[in-house]
Structures are given as C-alpha cells and as structure tokens.
C-alpha cells in the first residue's frame, strides 16, 4: 500500500506525465511538464526507486556540490502535486522522469498505484516525435486514446497504431486495462532541427493540454522563446540553400494538405482560448504543492546537439518519421487541424 503523508485531498485530479528519451523529441514533452512544475511552484512528494528501473550506465547519476559537500542526484521519476486556483479549482499530479531501462510493467503499476491513491480521474501523457513538418508552420499536435467513449467525448482519435512503442504507449495501455481514462498528446518536431530545446513544440503541447483539461496555463516567457527559436532556425536554414529548398517543399506540402481544413471550427477554438486568457479563466498562475520527499530537481547528461540543421535528403513517398507514427487527429499550436500522424 502506498502511503502519502502530507498530501491533501485532491480536487478533480488529473495526472500529467512526460518521460525523457525515445518519446521526447527535442525534449518538448518533458520541458512542458517542467514548465508546469516551475510556473505552479510544485514540490516533489514522491520518487520511484531508481535501482528498480534504471541502468546507470545508460542514464548516469550526476555529482554536484552543496556548500562544499559532494552529493549525487540519481536519474528517476518524480511526482508533485499543484493546485490550480480560480472559479473551478483542480489539482494536477505532475509526473516527470526518464523512460525506464527495465521492468516497464512494474513501473506502470507503481504509477497507477499513486493514481489510485490520489483519486486521479484522467491521465494525460505527453510525447514528441520526429516528422516531416516545417518549422515555419504551427506544430501538429495529435490526441489519441484507446477508449472509444473517451475519444468521442473529448474529440480524440482512437489509436490504431501497431509497431514498436515506448513507455508512453505502454503506460497508456496499462491505464486502459486498469480502468483509468488515459490520453496521449503528441507534438511533431521537424526532423531536420531535432536537437533540444524546442519551445515552439512545448508551447503547442501546453495549448492543447489547456484545451483538453479546461485549465488556464501560465505561459511565462515560453511564447517569446518560441518566436526566438523560429527566428534562429530561419537564419540557419537561410545559410544553406538545400535546407531552405527542403523547408519550402515541406511548406507547400503542408499548406496543400491543410487547405480544406481551414474551417470555422479551428478559428472558433482559437477565439475561445483568447477569451479564456483575456477573462483570466482558470485562476491565477499560483499553486501549491505538498512535499514529503527530496524536492531537488534531477539532472541528466545532455546529448550534444548540432548548431545548425543537417542537410536532409529529398522527401520521398516512403519517408517515415522516427519513431514510427500512429494515425491520429492533430491540431496545430493555433488550434488548426492537421493531417500528420502521431506515434505511441
């Protein structure tokens, strides 16, 4: 039995999870959860035992100094609770970690144990994949679920994906089998500029999450970071004629595919978001958390990234994003529908 000392009774709790690794292109998903934790001042109340799930030769611990004393931060998965105020307050259980190296079923069962004890009503798992999408257009976001009723109620796509999967897909199926409603939201990251960070994809995920759970999310400087990121990529692409030509090809393909989808529904969705932010819906940015464990943020070895996008191959009919995509209904950062695909 999981004992959660000091955690108050939660109001309509939703669990929001993201995991670094295979399902986190450009670190877009894990950065989204980190943003929620930072903006609402979440503090860690529980952490999974790193010894049970991680290979430390793959995800190495980090040594750091604290007042002259050497300490070690172990790679793991941590949980925090934040309360979102406003007319309709609700609690979010934030799960941020690294895709485990082993014992995935036990890992999912442990997270589901926390969800059960906390009375979680919905699990939302964020992910990001590499795709043939131009950085100059709204980031495609797809929402999928294994529950047909939930798909109809929340305007999601029922997943039909078959193929290799990551911890996002495994956790979603574990939730389904346990009778816990679960949704995964996927951002498509341009494969030619895949190195982290990607604030534009993070922003798109948070906008879609905001619509899904009807909570106003404080964006801080994320919107400005997204604009600066796009300007930077524009400049790098302009320095290479092959990359510039490739981006133009992707733009033309995207615009052609989306022309029939420029509907009033997309415009209405964006207008509703504008009204919600103008009226201050969802309450202030402040929140609170209850801590009964170490609240230190974990660190990991950062992969080296290129300073300019590589020269991509010419697109072809059999070009697939990596990892394999899953059919889904996508919406861009501005709420537009997209015909791109998501993975599990």
What does the pLDDT look like over 64-95, one tens digit per residue?
A: 999 999 999 999 999 999 988 777 889 999 99
Higher pLDDT, 3 or 173: 173
* Res 190 pLDDT > 90: yes
Q: What is the pLDDT of residues 253-266, one digit of tens each?
A: 888 877 655 555 55
Question: What is the structure's pLDDT at 185?
Answer: 97
Tell whether the model's pLDDT for residue 4 goes beyond 70.
Answer: no
Q: Given pLDDT bands bounded at 50, 70 and 90, which one contains residue 43?
A: confident
State what percent of residues in the chain have pLDDT above 90: 61
pLDDT for 23: 94
Share of the chain above pLDDT 70, in %: 73
- Give helix 167-177 / helix 104-118 axis angle, nearest 10°: 50
């Amino acid at each position: 039995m999981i004992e959660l000392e000091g955690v108050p009774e939660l109001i309509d709790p939703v669990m929001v999870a993201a995991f670094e690794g295979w399902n986190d292109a450009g670190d877009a998903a894990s950065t989204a959860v980190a943003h929620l934790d930072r903006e609402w001042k979440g503090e860690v109340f529980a952490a999974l035992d790193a010894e049970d799930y991680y290979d430390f030769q793959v995800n190495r611990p980090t040594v750091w100094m604290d007042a002259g004393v050497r300490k070690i931060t172990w790679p793991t998965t941590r949980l925090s609770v934040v309360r979102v105020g406003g007319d309709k307050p609700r609690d979010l259980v934030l799960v941020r970690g690294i895709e485990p190296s082993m014992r995935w079923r036990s890992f999912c069962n442990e997270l589901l144990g926390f969800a059960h004890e906390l009375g979680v009503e919905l699990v939302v798992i964020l992910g990001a994949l590499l795709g043939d999408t131009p950085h100059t257009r709204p980031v495609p976001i797809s929402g999928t679920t294994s529950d047909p009723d939930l798909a109809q109620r929340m305007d999601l796509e029922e997943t039909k994906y078959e193929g290799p999967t990551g911890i996002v897909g495994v956790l979603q199926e574990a939730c389904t089998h346990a009778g816990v409603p679960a949704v995964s939201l996927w951002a498509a990251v341009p494969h030619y500029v895949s190195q982290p960070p990607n604030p534009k994809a993070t922003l798109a995920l948070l906008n879609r999450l905001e619509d899904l759970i009807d909570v106003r999310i404080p964006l801080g400087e994320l919107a400005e970071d997204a604009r600066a990121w796009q300007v930077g990529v524009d400049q790098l692409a302009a320095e290479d004629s092959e990359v510039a030509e490739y981006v133009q090809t992707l733009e033309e393909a995207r615009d052609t595919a989306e022309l029939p989808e420029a509907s009033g529904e997309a415009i209405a969705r964006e207008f509703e978001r504008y009204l919600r932010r103008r009226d201050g819906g969802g309450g202030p940015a402040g929140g609170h958390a209850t801590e009964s464990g170490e609240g230190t943020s974990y660190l990991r070895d950062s992969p080296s990234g290129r300073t300019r996008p590589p020269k991509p191959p010419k697109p072809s009919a059999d070009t697939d994003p990596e990892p394999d995509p899953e059919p889904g209904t996508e919406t861009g950062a501005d709420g537009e529908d997209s015909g791109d695909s998501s993975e599990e």
